[in-house]
Chains A and B, each alone.
Chain A
């Protein structure tokens, strides 16, 4: 373990951020890394718990205590090895993961968890810097061919694992560039895109073929894949956004969040934007509906685009500032969270529902809102009740709908393949073998599980690879 009394002697310190005035002027990441000494000190705070709750709290089951200790001892290279043993892409989770590990950390009991995520990010960045990360090229090839459809974190993790097991893997992506949600959904100021390219280079060396701009089931018939490949992994996203079917929804200026965020990322990347719709917040009164991470990303993006005001609305009540640890820890607590984007200047309002969008000349001008209460209904479940007489109006030039996603898009690939769906509209496959109802077809990530975190997608990709490898060769040495 690190230092037995480290948790008592050393204060928690985490990455700081550049000042708001400075960081909102560009699209780059803006955190200020800790020094090596600070990182090692922070690693010393880990107590190497007999039951490391972080280890299970982390969806990919990172062996957090081991690498904390190694960092404390300055053995970065071994730390990197341990980290990579459970996580293909720590540089992604080290940036965008909400860090359920830290919520599960024993020191979270006193609100001073180990800075696990920062240490994770530092380990992998150190690895890149030192040149410790290279391709792991298999010595033997199996000759088996696997198609992975979707190049988000699930697809990439799955592809990398399968390639290392010696299979010949092709990754199909409908967009112009590889990365899925990582590439298009997450704003650059949270995850710069050269990080994905760095990994792609590694994966190319490991033998993976990338086929962007290939929309399976639309541009390329599914049948081709079925014929050519020994196994197919459906690792697409959960892309069907939840809509708000209220009067005025058709007005111009009411958009889903994803095209908005993707547009900005494309613009930053210099992609050809012709033929797409420009949605910009500059000088506008922006209202974001939905209090989650996507909503928060919209806030940060709108601010950087120069919105005159940003307001974020949430239908649920305002969560408490502090959770009741006795009843919640080590689970993920529901509590008020303020993201860096929120800090950059935004109004937030809770328990608000939208009755209608109003506007003129086809353009939205305001939202008609009502306050709501959540009360137990007759079946005991919490149900939404409007507060009588609480209606009010909020002016807006741009409304972004960030209320989550329902399930993957069914039309096209899924329908043509004929895979069974579960009750929520996701591809039906269990987390033991990831097999869909169609022979040779597997599914992992959001397409199977529904919208979720990057870290879950990585886990599913890895586990699915194990399942595919077992399916193809009868057994698998791939780690779970």
Chain B
């Protein structure tokens, strides 16, 4: 490598990890990982513990990621106790004498390689040490071996040294010493970071403590001890080792983002981190600490020595600990359990949480956190239990905790406990006390430490308990109309939003996608809300189901000042005002306004008007805003502690500052002044009306909102409503709808409490200037810069003038036109013209008409509709002759149709899509909902109805091994353009027999797709699912579908590293069968942004070659495709366009089943009207391909590959006369990433799935006779946690030959011993029996398609199986068929979306049988909370030993009943034949409404026989006594449908009988 190149590379990397380039922003990086620790409970330090810690790391290797180079991991590290023996001798050798243990600390320092900067760092550290009264002892260079570093990392590797500090004489004790060390570290960092030194950001102190020491770096886990010689040194001894293996979405090496941090390591993601950072900053002036004293001021800024959420969490944790909170207390504040509405939680603990809720907003998100201070070590899990954490305790006082079980080989007979961390629970080991402290004990102690309930009783004021007040009534019709017009109300607001919300209490639903311009392109005056889009979770964290998992959600909000975080005396006296949800009626608002004279005058409210004289025009808004700032600041300083920002005085003379602007601006102004936590912020506005509006106000700091004009408008509509309804009822329902909508928007980002959503700023902006955002919406991301305050003011004034100005009186509201096309409303891409032109063109194969169609869409000179409309193709001066360009028949192979399920669209439409695509070598997509096996065989005429792309979505409907082996591509749908972060629901009336068959469900019973994939809560989980699918069908390409939002590029990089071969970037304009309008209109971003970011990030990361990038969402013409290719797409998907070619006319009534052209309906009468023919779609796609080809010729590209990512061929269109669009800054989208030489810019390299390591190769070899000749075989083999997805490849082989039917029962018997890796028995086919002696990790029996899994403790184990965990989380997810017997306890989410497996288990965690649609689950032990949430089918029998199952079961869709003994006699007679097994499974599942005791007993007998279960034997031994303790869980709908079916069958039988008699 030449010198110049090296420096070049260095420069690139230097930029990478601390600056934005193009659309890439390091703030978007995500990580998730493997985490673990080992500890000797009695604090006996040894080198063994260090060795074993490192061994854990190696065995978690598969949870990390490999970057572009096989040597470069994303980071690994270990935290140990200070190894005194090693350091003392090493220092002595260097001439340094260390004080006694505990009297000195060691800093692990990463120094920049720039000599000058390094010198300054050393100076800074030494000087700060002295200044803080401690003794700098000297430096030690840490021995290392760079040959274990990746070439790309080497030039960046820091100089690693240790600095020793002796405790100063004035420092009284070790705690004080630790606090001083914290101050020293902070000050030293800031001394360097705050100045402009080269590479200053590389200065980083990994740890500085008298107790702990961190070794970490950018390397693969196994290489950590090879790099750091210290770790191999026998003198390195510790009683604990905390380890972490990172999987980042990026490969930009960052040594400081490797974990552990100083106190903790984290597996997961903090979704609310932006808000948490803001709130921490907001406390600056409100915080003081008797413990830290003046040192507190030296610590600011508190947050910020790392770009990651985990590093930030570590900072906050550190502060709380330094401020005097015990470790466990601090952790309970940051990551509280779901305490609200938990009937099982004791009062003291609830009081503890409720009390602390006003001190600290939850750091919300999936999290398994291990933490230590060297003396205590522990772990905790987020409230929803979204990360795995398993532990074992041995009889020689060793505790091993890790993301997986089996990470260390421990003889079974030494194990005394195997358990897991449960949602919200903590686990702590006190090494000095030498014992494990349970969750119950920790929390009992902390909860009882202070009279929290008493404090609450004294201080907590519920708004509803304040004296009643009188709110304003609605104005007269004329005034109302003017106000509505001034606030931009449209007819659609009334008709499609307000009225339906108030009538149904739901956020309204629509269908098909958005085809209107983003606000920045619209020439209509848009509200500020329209410039923001909601962010949502995909891949790196899961969205939540706010309905089925309601128990973790909370809308409670606290209004008013927040207590001093670090002063316990302050907090117990400060009054706090709480509301149950954030939308205030007029009366409630008055209660707040008049609060001063109540509750001991603890609150004073000041109303600040955010209106100003319209005569001052647009330019007056800035001044008005500054005046609002001044008033707010003065009010807070004048001890007003609730501010109401109000736009009520709006009239002909006064215009309102947009409420969102006022809210965010005041919020940030107060944060900057450090005053925000001194006062609450309440918004009284006529502007907010749709769910999206409220979410934005909340996201930018509103603690409560009074939408008075929405209430007034409803009151005005009330007389005309179909049902008589009181004003109050109308308002309540509307509030309920808003609440539900907010919950949904919060949960799509994985946030569960309003308190942490408030101020969390989970939005991206499009078309607002960076200066504007930075000032008033600080920290909000924006890919496309645009207008600023003046233009927004101008839009507002324009709207005001239209309402109140002279001219013609407007008697009605603006039509709107967002939801349905209106000529005087918003512009759409799909219009009567474009739809009919396309249909006429494809039906008559008339290319000229098609060209007219594409001309209308492409020509946006008069009317902007899309971002790409602003681009200009830079054609070549001398175009290529057309014949030199790749033929259209080849180009068309890069096209596919969008994912549409059979169920959302008709059989006719679905199969026509498939046939057409297969004819031209393109691909159709099954969508979520399975596919009938008969479609896998070609038709007699050569056509094929097989969909090339098989989708795997969160509901896993019909995802069997057979389905998967019949795929060309397997697409994991992470998100859908029209409703990213949301699940779906197919109502029962749409599930006809046919659809039920394909989806393996019951006709007439509704089906729910959960918002998250329950086997993907993080990037490493996605890697696991990709691995699973690749195992079943190694020939298929694995694809991941994402939706465009800022940061999607970094996620795409992670997806590429997770070994996906294909990625789809969907625009926000993608279609849907049914979604909340809020989501259709307000979530996600245009694909131009996401695609550009994806391509840029992948190329910068040298990952682009491994993965094909597809773009879809609103692709309609050849030009769209060319723009897509130039921005970096290898392939394109066309969804809505394809449907329109087949006859869709954008009715947008898919969700009503009334599609009049038979496309999106299951109504047989309407399906007959389907006009589509395969030829129509073939014609459309060939038109597209030919158009692309012509454009390629003009651009001078011979092949499509040449065109990919050539963004220099895109320019900005000149002479755009639309005022807003002129301000748009698209430079980030058009940022040219120059690939380094040899780095691919289109897909051209294979992914390495490491399938050769699969245990299944051995299984398949041994099972040959069975696979080929159906001869029974038996195989015995050991298994370890590194053997993942055992059985899937074998099952794929069987399904390919024998379909879903598979082999006869027990043909292949496999006996395994050990700890099985994740996804044990995934997609298992009929005929395979897996018998595991040992235990298993997460995802056991995922997608099981038959077969049998038996898990039991190994011989020699000593613990009681029904009290120890044996199977991880999310077992039997999406399982279709088969049997499963587990002797022991399973983790959370057992049997989620089970549609047919019969399982027996001896205990399970929270959310058992969630979304289950079929099958039988028997639980013979303790059951967690929220059992049967969303369960629509199948039955469960649960042993209710503690008689509180009704509190643990989610009763929304099921009923509990005793096991009927009605048919005992029958049973007894049947039992004469002996074991029920001889009757076969068919009998067991025959009639789920009856024969329960017979069925249950049979299953328990089988369980006993398969596993040798003592519990089963015990129960069977005294059946009469045990039977009454069982509860049957029966879904209500399911029972109704089964009974109807039975009645029908019986009627038919009677008929037959009658006829027979008649004959």
Which A residues contact B (CB, under 8 angstroms)?
4-5, 7-8, 47-53, 55-57, 61, 63, 65-66, 73, 75, 81-82, 85, 104, 106-107, 109-110, 138, 140, 164-165, 326-331, 477-480
- Separation in Å of the B1148 CB from the closest CB of chain A? 3
Q: Which of A81, A107, A109, A477 contacts B811 (CB 8 A)?
A: A81
Expressed in whole angstroms, the minimum distance between the Cβ of A146 and any Cβ of chain B is 16
Cβ 8 A contact of A82, one of B812, B839, B1152: B812
CA distance A73 to B495 in the complex (A): 13
Please pick, from B811, B821, B830, B1169, the residue contacting A55 in the complex, using a CB distance under 8 A: B821
Report the separation of the CA atoms of residues A328 and B840 in the bound assembly, to the nearest whole angstrom.
Answer: 7
A8 in contact with B1165 given A47-B1154, A52-B820 (CB within 8 Å): yes
Q: B1025 an interface residue at 8 Å Cβ cutoff?
A: no
The minimal Cβ–Cβ distance linking A143 to chain B, given in whole angstroms, is: 14
Tell me the chain B residues, 481-498 only, with Cβ under 8 Å from chain A: 491
B1152→A4 contact, CB < 8 A = yes
List the A side residues contacting B1149 at CB < 8 Å. Answer: 4, 47, 49-50
B1148 surroundings in chain A (CB, below 8 A): 49-50
A85 to B843, CA, bound (A): 37
CB within 8 Å of A: which B828-852 residues:
828, 830-833, 835-836, 839-840, 843-844
Find out whether the CB atom of A47 lies under 8 angstroms from the CB atom of B831: no
Cβ A47 vs Cβ B820 within 8 A: no
Q: How far, in whole Å, are A480 and B808 apart by their CA atoms in the complex?
A: 13
In the assembly, what is the distance between CA of A8 and CA of B806, in Å?
A: 47
Contact for A52 among B811, B821, B830, B1154, CB less than 8 A: B821
Which residue of B1145, B1156, B1165, B1171 is within 8 Å of A51 (Cβ)? B1145
Pair A109/B836 contact, Cβ less than 8 Å: no
Contacts A51-B835, A56-B833, A331-B836 known; A109 to B1156 CB distance under 8 Å? Answer: yes
**For the complex, is B807 an interface residue (Cβ under 8 Å from A)?**
yes
Query: Is B1356 at the interface (CB under 8 A from chain A)?
Result: no
B102 contacts the other chain (CB 8 A): no
The smallest beta-carbon distance between A480 and chain B, in angstroms, is 7
Chain B residues contacting A5 (CB-CB under 8 Å) are 1154
Complex: how many Å from CA A329 to CA B835? 11
Please name the residue on chain A nearest to B835 by beta carbon.
A51
Contacts A8-B1154, A81-B812, A107-B1156 given: A50-B1147 contact, CB under 8 Å? yes
What is the minimal beta-carbon distance from A105 to any residue of chain B, in angstroms? 10
Whether A109 pairs with B1165 at a CB distance below 8 angstroms is no
Q: How far is the CB of A269 from chain B (nearest CB, A)?
A: 35
- Known interface pairs A104-B832, A164-B808, A331-B836. Does A50 touch B1156 (Cβ–Cβ under 8 Å)? no
Residues of A within 8 A of B828 (CB): 51
Which residues of chain B come closer than 8 Å to A56, judged between CB atoms?
823, 831-833
The answer for the CA separation of A107 and B1156 in the assembled complex, in Å, is: 8
For A104, the chain B residues whose CB sits under 8 A away are 832
Among residues of B, the one whose C-beta sits closest to the C-beta of A3 is: B1154
Please give, as numbers and ranges, the residues of chain B lying within 8 Å of A50 by CB-CB distance.
512, 819-821, 1146-1149
Nearest residue in B to A4 (C-beta to C-beta)? B1152
A330 touches B820 (CB 8 A): no
Minimum C-beta distance from B833 to chain A (A): 7
Contacts of A331 in B (CB 8 A): 836
**Minimal Cβ-Cβ distance residue in B for A480:** B824
A49 touches B1147 (CB 8 A): yes
Cross-chain contact A61 with B823 (CB below 8 angstroms): yes
A-B pairs with beta carbons under 8 Å apart, 5 shown: A7-B1154, A51-B828, A55-B832, A109-B1169, A477-B807
A480-B1152 Cα distance, complex, nearest whole Å: 33
Q: Complex: how many Å from CA A331 to CA B1154?
A: 23
CB contact between B815 and one of A63, A165, A327, A477 (< 8 Å): that residue: A63
- Which B residues, 786 to 828, have Cβ-Cβ distances below 8 Å to chain A? 802, 806-808, 810-812, 815, 819-824, 828
Q: Could you say which residues of chain B place their CB within 8 Å of the CB of A480?
A: 824
A140's partner among B491, B806, B1156 (CB-CB below 8 A) is B806
* Contacts between the two chains (Cβ within 8 Å), count: 99
Contacts of B830 in A (CB 8 A): 51
Bound state CA distance, A53 and B1157, in angstroms?
Answer: 14
Chain B's closest residue to A139 (CB) is B809
Given contacts A140-B806, A326-B839, contact A47 B1147 (CB under 8 A): yes
In the docked arrangement, what's the CA distance between A480 and B822, Å?
A: 13
Determine the chain B residues whose CB is within 8 A of the CB of A55 once the complex forms: 821-823, 832
**Contact yes or no, A49 B820, CB < 8 A:** yes
Nearest CB to that of B823 among chain A residues?
A61
**Chain A residues closer than 8 Å to B1154, beta-carbon distance:** 4-5, 7-8, 47
A51 touches B821 (CB 8 A): yes
Supplied contacts A5-B1154, A51-B828, 15 more A-B pairs, CB within 8 Å: A47-B1156, A49-B1148, A49-B1149, A50-B1147, A51-B835, A52-B820, A52-B821, A55-B832, A61-B823, A63-B815, A106-B1145, A106-B1147, A327-B843, A330-B836, A477-B807
Interface centre among B1145, B1146, B1169 (most CB of A within 10 A): B1145
User: Which residues of the other chain, B, contact A65 by a CB distance below 8 angstroms?
Assistant: 820
- Return A44 CB to nearest CB of chain B, in Å: 13
Answer whether residue B343 sits at the interface, using C-beta atoms and an 8 A cutoff. no
Residues of chain A within 8 A of B840, CB atoms compared: 326-328
- Nearest B-chain residue to A110, judged by Cβ: B1169
A326 touches B1156 (CB 8 A): no
Whole-angstrom distance between the Cβ of A416 and the nearest chain B Cβ: 34
Name the residue of chain B whose CB is nearest to the CB of A58.
B823
Tell me, in angstroms, the Cα distance from A107 to B1149 when the chains sit together.
14
* A104 to B836 Cα, complex, angstroms: 10
Tell me the complex Cα distance, A479–B813, Å: 12
A135 CB to nearest chain B CB (Å): 14
In chain A, what residue has the closest Cβ to B1148?
A: A50
B813 to chain A, nearest CB (A): 11
How far is B1171's CA from A156's CA once the two chains are assembled, in angstroms? 44
Per the bound structure, the CA–CA distance linking A244 and B11 in Å amounts to: 86
Q: For the complex, what is the distance from the CA of A79 to the CA of B1169, rounded to whole Å?
A: 32
B720 on the A face (CB < 8 A): yes
A-B interface, 7 closest residue pairs, ranked by CB to CB distance from nearest: A50-B1148, A477-B807, A56-B832, A477-B808, A51-B1146, A50-B1146, A51-B821
How far in angstroms is the closest Cβ of chain B from A414?
Answer: 31
Q: Decide: B843 and A329 in contact? CB cutoff 8 A.
A: no
B1146 touches A63 (CB 8 A): no
List the A side residues contacting B1166 at CB < 8 Å. 8
Measured between beta carbons, the chain A residues less than 8 angstroms from B822 are 55, 63
Given known contacts A81-B811, A85-B812, A327-B843, is B831 in contact with A51 (CB within 8 Å)?
yes
A329 CB to nearest chain B CB (Å): 7
Let me know if A53 and B832 touch, CB within 8 A. yes
CA–CA, A110 to B1170, complex, Å? 11
Beta-carbon contacts under 8 Å, B1382-1425 to A: none
B824: chain A residues at CB < 8 Å are 61, 479-480
**Docked complex: B622-669 residues within 8 A CB-CB of A:** none
Output the least CB separation between B544 and chain A (Å). 31
Give chain A residues whose Cβ lies under 8 Å from the Cβ of B843. Answer: 326-327
Docked CA distance A47–B1148 (Å) = 10
Q: In the complex, which of the residues B802, B812, B815, B835 has the most CB atoms of chain A within 10 Å of its own CB atom?
A: B812
- The distance in angstroms between the C-alpha atoms of A165 and B820, with both chains bound, is 30
Name the distance in Å between A11's Cβ and chain B's nearest Cβ. 14
The distance in angstroms between the C-alpha atoms of A267 and B808, with both chains bound, is 41
Do the beta carbons of A7 and B1156 come within 8 Å of each other?
yes
Distance in Å from the Cβ of B1295 to the closest Cβ of chain A?
41
Knowing A53-B832, A327-B843, A477-B808, the reply to whether A48 touches B820 (Cβ < 8 A) is: yes
Task: Give the distance to chain B from A84, nearest Cβ to Cβ, in Å.
Answer: 9
- Which residues of B have CB within 8 Å of A106? 1145, 1147, 1156
Chain B residues positioned under 8 Å from A330 (CB to CB): 832, 836
Give min CB distance, B197 to chain A, whole Å: 58
Pairwise interchain contact A51-B820, C-beta atoms closer than 8 A = yes
Q: Which residues of B contact A61 (CB under 8 A)?
A: 823-824
- B802, closest chain A residue (CB): A477
Q: How far apart are the CA atoms of A53 and B1146 in the complex, in Å?
A: 10
Q: Which of B807, B830, B844, B1149 has the most CB of A within 10 A?
A: B807
Once the chains are docked, how many angstroms separate the CA of A347 from the CA of B962?
69
